Structure 1
Amino acid sequence: MLTLHFNNTTLDVQESDSSYRYRSLMSKPQLVLKFSLSEFVEIPVGAWCEYQGVKYKLGSPENI
């Protein structure tokens, strides 16, 4: 379970097994979260979460 933080709000999500973290030399680390919610939630640019001691921030909106 991960907690997303945005607009003074926290949202606990259960990420699916297809979520992953990508790290390589000379590039920014990326965290790809895949999850489903029972209702629509707008997650704004700047939302963040912490995974294995590293803070990841949403840098661009996604079209779903």
Structure 2
Amino acid sequence: MVRSQEAKMDDAERPGPSDQLWSVFEFARRYRLAKREENRLLMLYGPTASLRDLLANASRHSLMS
């Protein structure tokens, strides 16, 4: 018995945890981003983006500065 290609997913095709869509608002709250940084991410991606993109493009400023 042969499985159809539609039913079989390779590991490379499966969405990983970093590929899931996140709310930019939730991401900013969870990672304690400044409102200015949250607005920048909203302009860049809209209300949702992949966790990978958010982590790669978000920046937190040091609280010690």
| TM, length-normalised to structure 2 | 0.18
Higher strand share: 1
Rg (Cα) greater in structure = 2
Instruction: Give the structure-1-normalised TM-score.
Output: 0.18
> Higher relative CO (CA 8 A, sep ≥ 6), structure 1 or 2?
2
